Amino acid sequence: MSKSTLSVTDNRTGKTYELPIQDGTIRAVDLRQIKVASDDAGLATYDPGFLNTAACRSAISYIDGDKGILRYRGYPIEQLAERSTFLETAYLLLHGELPSAAELDSWVYNVTHHTIVHESIKKFIDGFHHDAHPMGVFVSTVAALSTFYPEAKQITNETSRWNQIFRLIAKAPTLAAFAYRHSVGMPYAYPDNDLSYPGNFLNMMFKATEVKYTPNKTLEHALDVLFILHADHEQNCSTSAMRGVGSSHADPYSAMAAAAAALYGPLHGGANEEVLKMLREIRSKDNIPAYLERVKRGEFRLFGFGHRIYKSYDPRAKLIKRVAEEVFDVTGKNPLIDIAMELERIALQEDYFVTRKLYPNVDFYSGIIYEAMKFPTDMFPVLFAIGRTPGWLAQWQEMLLDKEQKIARPHQIYTGSDKRDYVPIENRS
Ligand code: CMC
Protein backbone atom coordinates (compact mmCIF):
# COMPACT_ATOMS: atom_id res chain seq x y z
CA MET A 1 0.00 0.00 0.00
CA SER A 2 1.33 3.46 -0.85
CA LYS A 3 2.27 5.71 2.02
CA SER A 4 2.03 9.51 2.15
CA THR A 5 5.65 9.89 3.12
CA LEU A 6 8.95 10.77 1.52
CA SER A 7 12.03 8.70 2.30
CA VAL A 8 15.23 10.68 2.08
CA THR A 9 18.71 9.22 2.38
CA ASP A 10 21.44 11.64 3.39
CA ASN A 11 24.46 10.40 1.47
CA ARG A 12 26.75 12.33 3.80
CA THR A 13 25.80 10.05 6.69
CA GLY A 14 23.97 7.13 5.04
CA LYS A 15 20.96 7.75 7.32
CA THR A 16 17.43 7.52 5.94
CA TYR A 17 14.56 9.70 7.15
CA GLU A 18 10.85 9.38 6.54
CA LEU A 19 9.03 12.70 6.14
CA PRO A 20 5.23 13.05 6.05
CA ILE A 21 3.70 14.44 2.84
CA GLN A 22 0.57 16.54 3.30
CA ASP A 23 -1.25 18.43 0.54
CA GLY A 24 1.61 17.75 -1.84
CA THR A 25 4.18 19.36 0.44
CA ILE A 26 6.73 18.36 3.02
CA ARG A 27 7.28 20.60 6.04
CA ALA A 28 10.56 22.47 5.70
CA VAL A 29 11.13 22.17 9.47
CA ASP A 30 11.01 18.37 9.15
CA LEU A 31 14.30 18.65 7.26
CA ARG A 32 15.99 20.06 10.35
CA GLN A 33 16.43 16.56 11.80
CA ILE A 34 18.76 15.79 8.87
CA LYS A 35 22.17 16.61 10.33
CA VAL A 36 25.78 15.56 9.93
CA ALA A 37 26.65 16.46 13.53
CA SER A 38 24.65 17.18 16.68
CA ASP A 39 25.62 20.89 16.60
CA ASP A 40 24.61 21.21 12.93
CA ALA A 41 21.49 23.42 12.47
CA GLY A 42 20.03 20.79 10.16
CA LEU A 43 19.08 20.77 6.50
CA ALA A 44 17.10 23.73 5.10
CA THR A 45 15.70 24.54 1.67
CA TYR A 46 17.04 27.28 -0.63
CA ASP A 47 14.32 28.89 -2.75
CA PRO A 48 15.08 32.43 -4.00
CA GLY A 49 11.89 34.04 -5.29
CA PHE A 50 9.81 31.30 -3.62
CA LEU A 51 9.60 29.29 -6.83
CA ASN A 52 8.44 26.15 -5.04
CA THR A 53 7.58 27.04 -1.46
CA ALA A 54 4.10 27.32 0.04
CA ALA A 55 4.20 29.94 2.80
CA CYS A 56 0.62 29.56 3.98
CA ARG A 57 -2.66 27.74 3.65
CA SER A 58 -5.24 29.93 1.95
CA ALA A 59 -8.90 29.50 1.01
CA ILE A 60 -9.24 32.79 -0.88
CA SER A 61 -8.16 32.45 -4.51
CA TYR A 62 -7.19 29.47 -6.61
CA ILE A 63 -5.14 29.44 -9.81
CA ASP A 64 -4.45 26.56 -12.16
CA GLY A 65 -1.69 28.10 -14.25
CA ASP A 66 -1.61 25.34 -16.88
CA LYS A 67 -5.34 25.42 -17.52
CA GLY A 68 -5.70 29.21 -17.19
CA ILE A 69 -8.17 28.97 -14.29
CA LEU A 70 -8.75 31.63 -11.64
CA ARG A 71 -11.40 31.30 -8.92
CA TYR A 72 -12.24 33.46 -5.92
CA ARG A 73 -13.55 31.32 -3.04
CA GLY A 74 -14.38 28.65 -5.63
CA TYR A 75 -16.30 30.92 -8.01
CA PRO A 76 -14.85 31.15 -11.56
CA ILE A 77 -13.59 34.63 -12.38
CA GLU A 78 -15.65 34.58 -15.61
CA GLN A 79 -18.90 34.23 -13.63
CA LEU A 80 -17.96 36.93 -11.15
CA ALA A 81 -16.94 39.31 -13.95
CA GLU A 82 -20.25 38.73 -15.70
CA ARG A 83 -22.67 38.59 -12.79
CA SER A 84 -21.17 40.11 -9.64
CA THR A 85 -20.14 43.62 -8.67
CA PHE A 86 -16.81 44.67 -7.25
CA LEU A 87 -18.24 45.31 -3.78
CA GLU A 88 -20.06 41.97 -3.74
CA THR A 89 -16.81 40.27 -4.84
CA ALA A 90 -14.95 42.13 -2.09
CA TYR A 91 -17.48 40.76 0.43
CA LEU A 92 -17.00 37.27 -0.99
CA LEU A 93 -13.21 37.50 -0.70
CA LEU A 94 -13.35 38.79 2.86
CA HIS A 95 -16.21 36.66 4.23
CA GLY A 96 -15.77 33.51 2.18
CA GLU A 97 -19.40 33.39 1.00
CA LEU A 98 -21.60 35.48 -1.27
CA PRO A 99 -23.77 37.86 0.80
CA SER A 100 -27.55 37.73 1.22
CA ALA A 101 -29.38 40.82 -0.07
CA ALA A 102 -29.46 42.30 3.46
CA GLU A 103 -25.78 41.56 4.06
CA LEU A 104 -24.85 43.15 0.75
CA ASP A 105 -26.91 46.28 1.53
CA SER A 106 -25.22 46.71 4.87
CA TRP A 107 -21.76 46.03 3.38
CA VAL A 108 -22.26 48.57 0.56
CA TYR A 109 -23.64 51.08 3.09
CA ASN A 110 -20.60 50.69 5.32
CA VAL A 111 -18.09 51.06 2.50
CA THR A 112 -19.99 53.99 0.98
CA HIS A 113 -20.07 55.82 4.31
CA HIS A 114 -16.33 55.62 4.86
CA THR A 115 -15.22 57.25 1.61
CA ILE A 116 -14.37 60.69 3.00
CA VAL A 117 -10.82 61.28 4.19
CA HIS A 118 -9.71 63.63 6.96
CA GLU A 119 -9.18 67.17 5.67
CA SER A 120 -5.55 67.01 6.76
CA ILE A 121 -4.95 64.34 4.12
CA LYS A 122 -5.58 67.03 1.51
CA LYS A 123 -2.88 69.20 3.07
CA PHE A 124 -0.60 66.20 3.09
CA ILE A 125 -1.21 65.61 -0.64
CA ASP A 126 -0.73 69.33 -1.33
CA GLY A 127 2.83 68.90 -0.09
CA PHE A 128 3.75 66.66 -3.01
CA HIS A 129 5.40 68.14 -6.07
CA HIS A 130 2.92 68.67 -8.93
CA ASP A 131 4.49 65.93 -11.04
CA ALA A 132 4.74 63.39 -8.19
CA HIS A 133 3.84 59.92 -9.46
CA PRO A 134 0.31 59.16 -8.16
CA MET A 135 1.44 55.71 -7.00
CA GLY A 136 4.04 57.36 -4.74
CA VAL A 137 1.30 59.62 -3.40
CA PHE A 138 -1.04 56.64 -2.95
CA VAL A 139 1.53 54.55 -1.07
CA SER A 140 2.35 57.47 1.23
CA THR A 141 -1.22 58.48 1.97
CA VAL A 142 -2.30 54.90 2.69
CA ALA A 143 0.57 54.75 5.21
CA ALA A 144 -0.44 58.17 6.58
CA LEU A 145 -3.97 56.90 7.32
CA SER A 146 -2.50 54.79 10.13
CA THR A 147 -1.77 58.01 12.03
CA PHE A 148 -5.44 59.01 11.81
CA TYR A 149 -6.71 55.67 13.16
CA PRO A 150 -4.40 54.65 16.00
CA GLU A 151 -6.94 52.01 17.13
CA ALA A 152 -6.01 50.13 13.94
CA LYS A 153 -3.09 48.74 15.95
CA GLN A 154 -5.63 46.55 17.77
CA ILE A 155 -5.35 43.83 15.20
CA THR A 156 -6.76 41.18 17.53
CA ASN A 157 -9.96 43.18 18.00
CA GLU A 158 -12.41 41.96 15.38
CA THR A 159 -14.55 45.11 15.37
CA SER A 160 -11.50 47.28 14.88
CA ARG A 161 -10.26 45.02 12.08
CA TRP A 162 -13.54 45.32 10.17
CA ASN A 163 -13.59 49.11 10.65
CA GLN A 164 -10.17 49.40 9.05
CA ILE A 165 -11.27 47.05 6.25
CA PHE A 166 -14.27 49.29 5.46
CA ARG A 167 -12.07 52.35 5.59
CA LEU A 168 -9.36 51.01 3.33
CA ILE A 169 -11.75 49.72 0.64
CA ALA A 170 -13.74 52.99 0.85
CA LYS A 171 -10.83 55.43 0.95
CA ALA A 172 -8.52 53.82 -1.64
CA PRO A 173 -10.43 55.44 -4.56
CA THR A 174 -10.58 58.77 -2.72
CA LEU A 175 -6.81 58.82 -2.17
CA ALA A 176 -6.22 57.72 -5.76
CA ALA A 177 -8.48 60.41 -7.21
CA PHE A 178 -7.03 63.12 -4.93
CA ALA A 179 -3.52 62.15 -6.06
CA TYR A 180 -4.64 62.62 -9.67
CA ARG A 181 -6.43 65.94 -9.03
CA HIS A 182 -3.33 67.27 -7.33
CA SER A 183 -1.17 66.32 -10.32
CA VAL A 184 -3.40 68.22 -12.73
CA GLY A 185 -3.98 71.15 -10.38
CA MET A 186 -7.73 70.59 -10.09
CA PRO A 187 -9.67 71.05 -6.84
CA TYR A 188 -10.38 67.79 -5.04
CA ALA A 189 -13.82 66.37 -5.83
CA TYR A 190 -15.54 64.91 -2.77
CA PRO A 191 -17.17 61.47 -2.75
CA ASP A 192 -20.78 61.28 -3.87
CA ASN A 193 -22.59 58.63 -1.83
CA ASP A 194 -25.45 58.42 -4.34
CA LEU A 195 -23.14 56.79 -6.83
CA SER A 196 -21.84 53.24 -7.09
CA TYR A 197 -18.26 52.43 -6.06
CA PRO A 198 -16.82 52.80 -9.60
CA GLY A 199 -19.26 55.62 -10.44
CA ASN A 200 -18.11 57.60 -7.44
CA PHE A 201 -14.49 57.01 -8.38
CA LEU A 202 -15.13 58.41 -11.87
CA ASN A 203 -16.86 61.35 -10.17
CA MET A 204 -13.89 62.09 -7.93
CA MET A 205 -11.52 61.76 -10.90
CA PHE A 206 -13.33 63.67 -13.61
CA LYS A 207 -15.99 65.96 -12.09
CA ALA A 208 -15.45 69.49 -13.38
CA THR A 209 -17.94 72.35 -12.95
CA GLU A 210 -21.18 70.35 -13.13
CA VAL A 211 -23.26 70.30 -9.94
CA LYS A 212 -23.72 66.55 -10.08
CA TYR A 213 -21.52 64.17 -12.02
CA THR A 214 -23.27 61.43 -13.98
CA PRO A 215 -20.96 58.56 -14.87
CA ASN A 216 -21.37 56.84 -18.20
CA LYS A 217 -23.04 53.49 -17.40
CA THR A 218 -20.85 51.46 -19.76
CA LEU A 219 -17.61 52.94 -18.42
CA GLU A 220 -18.81 52.58 -14.84
CA HIS A 221 -19.56 48.89 -15.46
CA ALA A 222 -16.25 48.34 -17.31
CA LEU A 223 -14.32 49.80 -14.38
CA ASP A 224 -16.25 47.61 -11.95
CA VAL A 225 -15.33 44.51 -13.99
CA LEU A 226 -11.67 45.58 -14.13
CA PHE A 227 -11.65 45.96 -10.35
CA ILE A 228 -13.15 42.46 -9.99
CA LEU A 229 -10.44 41.00 -12.25
CA HIS A 230 -7.71 42.56 -10.10
CA ALA A 231 -9.24 41.76 -6.70
CA ASP A 232 -7.05 38.84 -5.63
CA HIS A 233 -4.40 36.55 -7.04
CA GLU A 234 -3.08 34.25 -4.34
CA GLN A 235 0.47 34.74 -3.01
CA ASN A 236 1.86 37.30 -5.48
CA CYS A 237 4.60 39.79 -4.57
CA SER A 238 2.35 42.51 -3.10
CA THR A 239 0.14 40.04 -1.21
CA SER A 240 3.26 38.45 0.24
CA ALA A 241 4.36 41.95 1.30
CA MET A 242 0.95 42.51 2.95
CA ARG A 243 1.22 39.22 4.82
CA GLY A 244 4.91 39.70 5.62
CA VAL A 245 4.50 43.18 7.10
CA GLY A 246 1.21 42.21 8.74
CA SER A 247 2.94 39.23 10.36
CA SER A 248 4.88 41.65 12.57
CA HIS A 249 1.42 42.85 13.79
CA ALA A 250 1.80 46.26 12.15
CA ASP A 251 -1.54 48.01 11.55
CA PRO A 252 -3.28 47.27 8.21
CA TYR A 253 -2.58 50.76 6.79
CA SER A 254 1.17 50.26 7.19
CA ALA A 255 0.92 46.73 5.80
CA MET A 256 -1.16 47.86 2.83
CA ALA A 257 1.23 50.72 2.08
CA ALA A 258 3.97 48.08 1.83
CA ALA A 259 1.77 45.94 -0.42
CA ALA A 260 1.03 48.90 -2.69
CA ALA A 261 4.76 49.72 -2.81
CA ALA A 262 5.45 46.15 -3.95
CA LEU A 263 2.73 46.45 -6.57
CA TYR A 264 4.34 49.63 -7.95
CA GLY A 265 7.27 47.71 -9.49
CA PRO A 266 7.26 47.21 -13.28
CA LEU A 267 7.44 43.42 -12.94
CA HIS A 268 4.16 43.47 -10.98
CA GLY A 269 1.35 46.07 -11.07
CA GLY A 270 3.55 48.70 -12.68
CA ALA A 271 3.65 46.57 -15.86
CA ASN A 272 0.38 48.08 -17.18
CA GLU A 273 2.05 51.49 -17.31
CA GLU A 274 5.11 49.99 -19.04
CA VAL A 275 2.91 48.29 -21.66
CA LEU A 276 1.52 51.64 -22.78
CA LYS A 277 4.99 53.16 -22.99
CA MET A 278 6.08 50.12 -25.01
CA LEU A 279 3.14 50.29 -27.44
CA ARG A 280 3.75 54.00 -27.98
CA GLU A 281 7.41 53.31 -28.62
CA ILE A 282 6.56 50.60 -31.18
CA ARG A 283 4.29 53.17 -32.89
CA SER A 284 3.25 51.03 -35.85
CA LYS A 285 2.63 47.38 -36.66
CA ASP A 286 5.58 47.44 -39.08
CA ASN A 287 7.99 47.95 -36.18
CA ILE A 288 6.79 44.89 -34.23
CA PRO A 289 9.17 42.27 -35.69
CA ALA A 290 12.23 44.44 -35.01
CA TYR A 291 10.99 45.14 -31.47
CA LEU A 292 10.47 41.43 -30.79
CA GLU A 293 13.99 40.69 -32.07
CA ARG A 294 15.33 43.01 -29.37
CA VAL A 295 13.21 41.23 -26.73
CA LYS A 296 14.58 37.89 -27.91
CA ARG A 297 18.12 39.25 -27.74
CA GLY A 298 17.41 39.97 -24.07
CA GLU A 299 17.65 43.77 -24.37
CA PHE A 300 14.37 44.16 -22.45
CA ARG A 301 11.22 42.26 -21.58
CA LEU A 302 7.93 42.36 -23.36
CA PHE A 303 5.77 43.99 -20.71
CA GLY A 304 2.33 42.50 -20.13
CA PHE A 305 3.67 39.08 -21.13
CA GLY A 306 4.63 36.14 -18.95
CA HIS A 307 3.60 35.08 -15.50
CA ARG A 308 5.10 33.03 -12.68
CA ILE A 309 1.98 30.86 -12.41
CA TYR A 310 0.12 31.09 -15.74
CA LYS A 311 1.74 28.91 -18.36
CA SER A 312 -1.24 29.40 -20.65
CA TYR A 313 -3.47 32.38 -21.43
CA ASP A 314 -4.20 34.51 -18.34
CA PRO A 315 -8.01 34.26 -18.00
CA ARG A 316 -8.11 37.89 -16.87
CA ALA A 317 -6.51 39.04 -20.14
CA LYS A 318 -9.22 37.19 -22.12
CA LEU A 319 -11.97 38.97 -20.17
CA ILE A 320 -10.26 42.33 -20.45
CA LYS A 321 -10.22 42.04 -24.25
CA ARG A 322 -14.02 41.75 -24.13
CA VAL A 323 -14.33 44.78 -21.83
CA ALA A 324 -12.19 46.73 -24.31
CA GLU A 325 -14.82 46.26 -27.03
CA GLU A 326 -17.59 47.64 -24.77
CA VAL A 327 -15.47 50.62 -23.76
CA PHE A 328 -14.44 51.45 -27.33
CA ASP A 329 -18.11 51.54 -28.35
CA VAL A 330 -18.38 54.59 -26.08
CA THR A 331 -14.94 56.18 -26.28
CA GLY A 332 -13.94 55.26 -29.82
CA LYS A 333 -11.19 52.77 -30.48
CA ASN A 334 -7.81 53.28 -28.89
CA PRO A 335 -5.48 52.80 -31.90
CA LEU A 336 -2.93 51.10 -29.63
CA ILE A 337 -5.22 48.04 -29.48
CA ASP A 338 -4.32 47.18 -33.09
CA ILE A 339 -0.62 47.25 -32.28
CA ALA A 340 -1.23 45.19 -29.12
CA MET A 341 -3.27 42.54 -30.94
CA GLU A 342 -0.71 42.25 -33.72
CA LEU A 343 2.09 42.07 -31.15
CA GLU A 344 0.25 39.24 -29.40
CA ARG A 345 -0.42 37.43 -32.71
CA ILE A 346 3.21 37.56 -33.81
CA ALA A 347 4.66 36.80 -30.36
CA LEU A 348 2.48 33.73 -29.92
CA GLN A 349 3.92 32.29 -33.14
CA GLU A 350 7.52 32.88 -32.09
CA ASP A 351 9.50 30.00 -30.71
CA TYR A 352 10.96 32.20 -27.94
CA PHE A 353 7.53 32.87 -26.43
CA VAL A 354 6.01 29.46 -27.19
CA THR A 355 8.81 27.45 -25.56
CA ARG A 356 8.82 29.67 -22.49
CA LYS A 357 5.01 29.63 -22.32
CA LEU A 358 4.79 33.42 -22.30
CA TYR A 359 1.24 34.67 -22.91
CA PRO A 360 -0.42 38.07 -22.40
CA ASN A 361 -1.18 38.71 -18.73
CA VAL A 362 -3.71 40.99 -17.02
CA ASP A 363 -1.58 44.06 -17.67
CA PHE A 364 -1.33 43.67 -21.44
CA TYR A 365 -4.75 45.07 -22.38
CA SER A 366 -5.91 46.86 -19.21
CA GLY A 367 -3.90 50.03 -19.87
CA ILE A 368 -5.37 50.43 -23.35
CA ILE A 369 -8.85 50.52 -21.80
CA TYR A 370 -7.79 52.89 -19.02
CA GLU A 371 -6.27 55.22 -21.59
CA ALA A 372 -9.47 55.18 -23.67
CA MET A 373 -11.33 56.12 -20.46
CA LYS A 374 -8.98 59.14 -20.09
CA PHE A 375 -6.94 57.86 -17.17
CA PRO A 376 -3.37 59.11 -17.47
CA THR A 377 -0.74 56.38 -17.80
CA ASP A 378 0.78 56.91 -14.37
CA MET A 379 -2.63 56.22 -12.76
CA PHE A 380 -2.69 52.63 -14.09
CA PRO A 381 -0.87 50.98 -11.16
CA VAL A 382 -3.08 52.98 -8.78
CA LEU A 383 -6.17 51.51 -10.47
CA PHE A 384 -4.67 48.05 -9.96
CA ALA A 385 -4.16 48.90 -6.27
CA ILE A 386 -7.81 49.93 -5.79
CA GLY A 387 -8.94 46.62 -7.26
CA ARG A 388 -6.46 44.59 -5.20
CA THR A 389 -7.35 46.24 -1.87
CA PRO A 390 -10.02 43.68 -0.77
CA GLY A 391 -7.70 40.81 -1.72
CA TRP A 392 -4.85 42.24 0.34
CA LEU A 393 -7.19 42.71 3.30
CA ALA A 394 -8.70 39.23 3.01
CA GLN A 395 -5.20 37.72 2.93
CA TRP A 396 -4.10 39.89 5.86
CA GLN A 397 -7.04 38.80 7.99
CA GLU A 398 -6.63 35.14 7.01
CA MET A 399 -2.96 35.35 8.03
CA LEU A 400 -3.82 36.90 11.40
CA LEU A 401 -6.41 34.23 12.18
CA ASP A 402 -4.17 31.35 11.08
CA LYS A 403 -2.73 29.75 14.22
CA GLU A 404 0.17 28.30 12.24
CA GLN A 405 1.42 31.71 11.06
CA LYS A 406 4.32 33.47 12.75
CA ILE A 407 6.34 36.57 12.01
CA ALA A 408 7.80 36.13 8.51
CA ARG A 409 11.49 35.50 8.81
CA PRO A 410 13.25 33.58 6.04
CA HIS A 411 16.62 31.92 6.45
CA GLN A 412 19.71 32.91 4.52
CA ILE A 413 22.85 31.15 3.39
CA TYR A 414 25.64 33.32 4.73
CA THR A 415 28.29 33.99 2.06
CA GLY A 416 30.29 36.72 3.84
CA SER A 417 33.66 36.72 5.58
CA ASP A 418 34.48 34.45 8.47
CA LYS A 419 35.27 36.14 11.82
CA ARG A 420 38.00 38.78 11.52
CA ASP A 421 39.33 41.49 13.81
CA TYR A 422 38.64 45.19 13.45
CA VAL A 423 41.54 47.08 11.81
CA PRO A 424 42.13 50.74 12.87
CA ILE A 425 41.85 53.08 9.86
CA GLU A 426 45.55 54.04 9.94
CA ASN A 427 46.52 50.36 9.52
CA ARG A 428 44.26 49.69 6.51
CA SER A 429 46.03 49.40 3.19
N1 CMC B 1 9.54 39.11 -22.07
C2 CMC B 1 10.61 38.39 -22.51
N3 CMC B 1 11.07 37.30 -21.88
C4 CMC B 1 10.45 36.92 -20.75
C5 CMC B 1 9.34 37.63 -20.23
C6 CMC B 1 8.89 38.75 -20.95
N7 CMC B 1 7.84 39.46 -20.52
N8 CMC B 1 8.92 37.03 -19.11
C9 CMC B 1 9.74 36.00 -18.89
N10 CMC B 1 10.66 35.93 -19.90
C11 CMC B 1 11.68 34.90 -20.09
C12 CMC B 1 12.86 35.12 -19.17
O13 CMC B 1 13.86 35.90 -19.78
C14 CMC B 1 13.31 33.69 -18.93
O15 CMC B 1 14.00 33.26 -20.06
P16 CMC B 1 15.31 32.31 -19.92
O17 CMC B 1 14.76 31.02 -19.36
O18 CMC B 1 15.88 32.21 -21.26
O19 CMC B 1 16.21 33.01 -18.93
C20 CMC B 1 12.01 32.90 -18.90
O21 CMC B 1 11.10 33.65 -19.71
C22 CMC B 1 11.41 32.73 -17.49
O23 CMC B 1 11.33 34.03 -16.91
P24 CMC B 1 11.49 34.32 -15.35
O25 CMC B 1 11.96 35.71 -15.18
O26 CMC B 1 12.30 33.21 -14.73
O27 CMC B 1 9.99 34.13 -14.88
P28 CMC B 1 9.36 34.64 -13.53
O29 CMC B 1 8.28 33.71 -13.19
O30 CMC B 1 10.41 34.87 -12.49
O31 CMC B 1 8.79 36.09 -13.92
C32 CMC B 1 7.34 37.81 -14.59
C33 CMC B 1 7.44 36.35 -14.09
C34 CMC B 1 5.86 38.20 -14.64
C35 CMC B 1 8.05 38.74 -13.61
C36 CMC B 1 7.95 37.90 -16.00
O37 CMC B 1 7.25 37.09 -16.91
C38 CMC B 1 8.04 39.35 -16.51
O39 CMC B 1 8.99 40.05 -16.20
N40 CMC B 1 7.01 39.79 -17.31
C41 CMC B 1 6.98 41.18 -17.73
C42 CMC B 1 6.41 42.05 -16.63
C43 CMC B 1 4.92 41.85 -16.47
O44 CMC B 1 4.17 41.86 -17.45
N45 CMC B 1 4.48 41.74 -15.23
C46 CMC B 1 3.07 41.61 -14.89
C47 CMC B 1 2.74 40.26 -14.37
S48 CMC B 1 0.95 39.97 -14.29
C49 CMC B 1 0.40 41.12 -13.11
C50 CMC B 1 0.79 40.73 -11.75
O51 CMC B 1 0.11 39.89 -11.16
O52 CMC B 1 1.78 41.27 -11.27
Active site residues: 268, 307, 363
**Domains of the chain with CATH codes:** 60-410 (1.10.580.10)
**Burial class (CB within 10 angstroms; exposed 0-12, middle 13-18, buried 19+) of 137:** buried
**pLDDT number for residue 429:** 86
CA 30–ligand 1 middle distance (angstroms): 32
Pure H helices in 71-155? 77-83, 86-95, 101-112, 119-126, 134-148
Please tell me the distance between residue 304's alpha carbon and the centre of ligand 1 in angstroms.
9
Q: Which of 199, 204, 205, 203 is nearest to 217 (CA)?
A: 199
Pocket test for ligand 1, best of 264, 296, 308 (most atoms within 8 A of CB): 308
For residue 238, is pLDDT > 90?
Answer: yes
Average pLDDT of span 24-51: 96
Residue 99: pLDDT over 80: yes
pTM over 0.75: yes
- The pLDDT score that the predictor gives to residue 191 is 97
For residue 1, pLDDT over 80 is answered with no
Quote the CA–CA distance of 381 and 135 in Å, as a whole number. 7
Residues 181-231: tens digit of each pLDDT = 999 999 999 999 999 999 999 999 999 999 999 999 999 999 999 999 999
Ligand 1 atom nearest residue 295's Cα: 2
Among 344, 361, 366, say which to mutate for ligand 1: greatest number of ligand atoms within 8 Å of CB: 361
- pLDDT the model gives residue 194: 96
3-class secondary-structure state, position 335: coil
DSSP class of residue 188 equals P
- Is the shortest distance between the CB of 388 and ligand 1 below 6 Å? no
Say yes or no: CB of residue 175 within 6 Å of ligand 1: no
CA distance 327 to 334: 10
Whose C-alpha lies nearest to ligand 1, atom 37?
306
304 in ligand 1 pocket by Cβ < 6 Å?
A: yes
Q: Which residues pair with 305 in a beta bridge?
A: 360
Portion of the chain with pLDDT greater than 70, in percent: 100
Q: Does 240 score more than 80 pLDDT? A: yes
Residue pair 305/280 in contact (Cβ under 8 Å)? The answer is: no
pLDDT digits 0-9 by tens, 277-331: 999 999 999 999 999 999 999 999 999 999 999 999 999 999 998 999 999 999 9
pLDDT for position 2 = 85
What is the pLDDT, as a whole number, of residue 150? 95
pLDDT for residue 380: 95
Does residue 236 surpass a pLDDT of 80?
A: yes
Strand order in the sheet with 75-76: 61-64, 69-72, 75-76
- Residue 355 CA to residue 363 CA, distance in Å, equals 21
pLDDT in tens, 365-417: 999 999 999 999 999 999 999 999 999 999 999 999 999 999 999 999 999 99
Neighbours of 401 (CB within 10 A): 11
